[in-house]
Structure 1
Amino acid sequence: MGTGEPDIEIQPGAIVGLKAKEEAGPVVIRGRTRIRSGSVIYADVDLGKDFQTGHNVTIRGHTTIGAHVVVGTNTVLEGYVEIADFVKIESNCFIPTHVKIGTRVFIGPGVTLTNDRYPLKNRDEYEPEGPVLEDGVTLAAGVVVMPGVRIGRGSFVAAGAIVTKDVPEMSLVRGLPSRIYALPEHLREFNIALSWRGFLKNSSDQ
């Protein structure tokens, strides 16, 4: 495990650097990090500054996470995941392999992303392909996003929606079956947590 930075708290009962393979690389942890009890961080994970987990989080290998990211209690990242800066993932979420998440993204509680079009079927005919969440995307509680779907910059997906096709930027997705609408003006502001404000003062999207 490589740290070299101050202000790192790994609570009792957390496991950092669990190796799925003997040749796996270290966990890189930067400053102002808190990993809460019950969480398991596998080897080959790179964590940015100001990272924190809730309890009982699992983050598997080959995952790269930027600065100012929160991963909520009972959330699972299955590895081979890329997360940019300023991202908040709430509790009880599932993030499979081959997912890319942009900056200033909010993922609400109970969100499920998927990467397998035909679970345990036709395994030789395609590769898993996770969703892509572009910058500024919001997924409200209980959203399900199907494999390979790209959700465009600044879009907002309402609670309980199941997203089955690509979403253009600055769109609103809601209803079952889900439909795509123009994003209302009051939802066009990019996501910003209070704790991010001092670090985003030079951003044109603030």
Structure 2
Amino acid sequence: MPKIHKTSDVQSENIGDGTLIWQFCVILKNAIIGKNCNINCNVFIENDVFIGDNVTIKPGVQIWDGVTIEDFVMIGPNATFTNDLYPKSKNTNFILKRTLIKKGASIGANATILAGIEIGENALIGAGSVVTKNVPSNTIWYGNPAQQKRFNDNDVKL
């Protein structure tokens, strides 16, 4: 059974056993969250979101419709996702762009992930990076715009 702090607004019933949801989170009705996740304070999770098992999401993260996060992913504090390449208020021509964060990836604090990006397995995105294109598995990227700096071959593969 999940443990949900009393100050959070959790509308979804699709939350796995052992998941912790801390203070002041909002999780909308159709979101799916796996087992043994740690959802820190002040996190917002929209409806069309899938989060796998053993995921850590640090404070201040918003996960918008169209984002899929696989197992064993770590999302650092205030990391930002987008789901529209051309955002406008009251946009009637909104086109949802799906984003995929694959198993074992880590995204550093304050990184920005543009809409429609795929981050490969065990990839590492450095703090403050702006990711504008797909990231291959087992690589380390950082900067603005983020660029591949080296291979991530020392990490434990999950």
Shorter-normalised TM range: over 0.9
Q: 1:93 to 1:122 in 2, by over 3 A?
A: closer
Confirm or deny: 8 A CA contact 2:124 2:152 kept in the other structure.
no
What is the CA–CA distance in structure 2 between the aligned matches of 1:41 and 1:121, rounded to whole Å?
Answer: 26
2:156 corresponding residue in structure 1: 189
5+ long unaligned stretches in structure 2: none
Confirm or deny: 8 A CA contact 1:114 1:130 kept in the other structure.
no
1:76-87 superposed matches below 5 A: 76-87=44-55
Confirm or deny: 8 A CA contact 1:96 1:130 kept in the other structure.
no
Confirm or deny: 8 A CA contact 2:122 2:152 kept in the other structure.
no
- Give the letter for the 1:91 counterpart: P
Task: Give every structure 1 segment of 4 or more consecutive aligned residues whose post-TM-superposition deviation is greater than 6 Å.
Answer: none
1:114 corresponding residue in structure 2: 82
5+ long unaligned stretches in structure 1: 1-30, 191-204
1:42-69 CA-to-partner distances (Å, cap 9, x unmatched) read: 25x4011101111000001211111111
Q: Does 1:139 align with 2:107?
A: yes
Confirm or deny: 8 A CA contact 1:66 1:86 kept in the other structure.
yes
What is the CA–CA distance in structure 2 between the aligned matches of 1:122 and 1:76, rounded to whole Å?
Answer: 21
1:15-30 superposed matches below 5 A: none
Q: Does 1:90 align with 2:75?
A: no
Q: Does 1:55 align with 2:26?
A: no
TM superposition score normalised by structure 1: 0.72
- The RMSD of aligned alpha carbons is 1.7
What is the CA–CA distance in structure 2 between the aligned matches of 1:126 and 1:181, rounded to whole Å?
Answer: 34
Deviation at 1:183, TM superposition (A): 2.2
Determine which structure has more spread, i.e. the larger CA radius of gyration.
1
1:148-194 CA-to-partner distances (Å, cap 9, x unmatched) read: 100011100000001011111111111122111332433x224xxxx
1:23 corresponding residue in structure 2: none
Q: Does 1:66 align with 2:66?
A: no
Q: Tell me the percent identity.
A: 25
| Aligned partner (choices 101, 120, 139) of residue 152 of structure 1 | 120
TM superposition score normalised by structure 2: 0.92
Confirm or deny: 8 A CA contact 1:133 1:150 kept in the other structure.
yes
Q: 1:39 to 1:163 in 2, by over 3 A?
A: same
Confirm or deny: 8 A CA contact 1:131 1:147 kept in the other structure.
yes
2:10 corresponding residue in structure 1: 41
Deviation at 1:122, TM superposition (A): 9.7
